[in-house]
Amino acid sequence: MTQHRHSREPLRLEQLERRQLFTAFAYSNFASTAGIALNGFGSAAPTSSSNLILTDGSTNEARSALYTTPVPIGTFTSHFVIDPTNASGANAGDGMTFVIDNGSTTDIGGTASNLGYGAGTFGAHSVAIALDFFDQTGIGTHFQVVQGGTTPSASQNTLPVDFHNNQPIDATVTYDGTNLMLSLVDSTDSSKTFTQSEAIDLPAVLGSSTALIGFTAGSGNATADQAIQSWNYADTLTPGPVFSEQAAAGALNSAGTKNHLYSAATDSSATITKYSWSLIHAPSGAPTPNLSVNNSASAANPSVQYFKDGTYHFRVMVADSNGATTSSDVDVLVSQVATGLRLAPHGATIKPHAHQQFSGYAYDQFGRLFRSAPAFGYRLTSGGGSITSSGLYTASATKGHVLITVTVDDLTGTIGAVVV
């Protein structure tokens, strides 16, 4: 799998606005984890394919990843993309939390149902939004807001959004000074959403107007791979980029090698600075498609050139001048189009009343042989005898030259034989 990802240090913006300190950071990926305290990883790599790995499929894991600088929590928005894999079935687990902690950057909880938060060093001045997907039925992810470092006992189902689907999940946590809200969207099907809020006085519970934020996760005998693809935070309730047109794909050109990707976003409080397209999945052995433009404000609708047929999965991440991001995904199916034809055998000599099988081979727009032979048409253009729809020729008693025409899609070829 090839991904267009560009490493960047976490963005920190500070400016005086309405006499309040504005703070933001953004990780478009985790090629760098600078600014994040990583706990419980031991010798395991904290990242893979530029994702932050919270659990890696091993049993009895407990990990935390905390932004090392306390941030204002009076009002804020934080967006992140969760990427659960190997999470299907009744033996997948256990889950993760988004944690807000007036504590230490070394805080970490226990394994299994503790989700890396409970039964550890997270103390009374901490709050976590728990997402627990361990379920004996293998269906459902459960939500809970938990305080004080206690073990989550999440019971509210987030369906139709579910870790067991093994699809990236767009998550947004907002706090308006009164309600702490979690919104989840299945990134491959925006009709699947979950939103829940809980009234809470965060500064009072935390004993501070600033706190560490980050993630925890755990596994027990049940395991899964839990990763974070991107993460941003801003201490305002500005919505950030909003898609006016979700990622979409235009029709392929007549040659079947190019099309356009489409997206559009607006932002009521900042400037759209970048559309970044990444290739999440490509057919086996496919060269990376070429995009006409990427990673810029003008990259909303790039043209794409492909070099192999198959299904391509693209993601566009839109960023604004505050560092807020949002993303949308689209699949593109590049079908094989017949552009070349080879016929065999050439120059066959056939006895009267004998049979000869003729065959056609189609090549696609990339010069590759069709994996499944398309339907060929065979007809006798000149000479005696007959030919079936499958290319089986039967010679007549008359000797001489025979010409056979073969068609597939818009291609036509001829092949000759001699009855001797």
Q: What is the structure's pLDDT at 19? A: 27
Which residues, at least 6 apart from 320, have a Cβ–Cβ distance to it below 8 Å?
Answer: 240, 241, 267, 269, 270, 271, 272, 273
CATH class belonging to 13-234 = mainly beta
pLDDT for res 18: 29
Question: Are 152 and 134 in contact, with CB atoms under 8 Å apart?
Answer: no
Query: Which residue stretches of the chain have pLDDT < 50?
Result: 1-22
Identify the pLDDT of residue 241. 86
Give the SS3 label for residue 202: helix
pLDDT value of position 4: 34
292: left (phi over 0), alpha (psi -120 to 50) or beta: alpha
**CATH class in words for 340-419:** mainly beta
Question: In the prediction, which pLDDT does 136 show?
Answer: 53
Burial of 204 (0-12, 13-18, 19+ CB in 10 A): exposed
Using one digit for the tens of pLDDT, what is the confidence trace for 163-185? 888 899 999 999 999 999 999 98
- Residue range(s) occupied by CATH 2.60.120.200 in the chain: 13-234
Delimit the CATH 2.60.40.10 region(s) of the chain. Answer: 242-334, 340-419
Q: Are 42 and 56 in contact (CB under 8 A)?
A: no
Q: CATH code for 242-334?
A: 2.60.40.10
C-alpha closest to that of 340 among 298, 374, 295:
374
Per-residue model confidence (pLDDT) at position 11: 32
Token pair belonging to 23: 């703070």
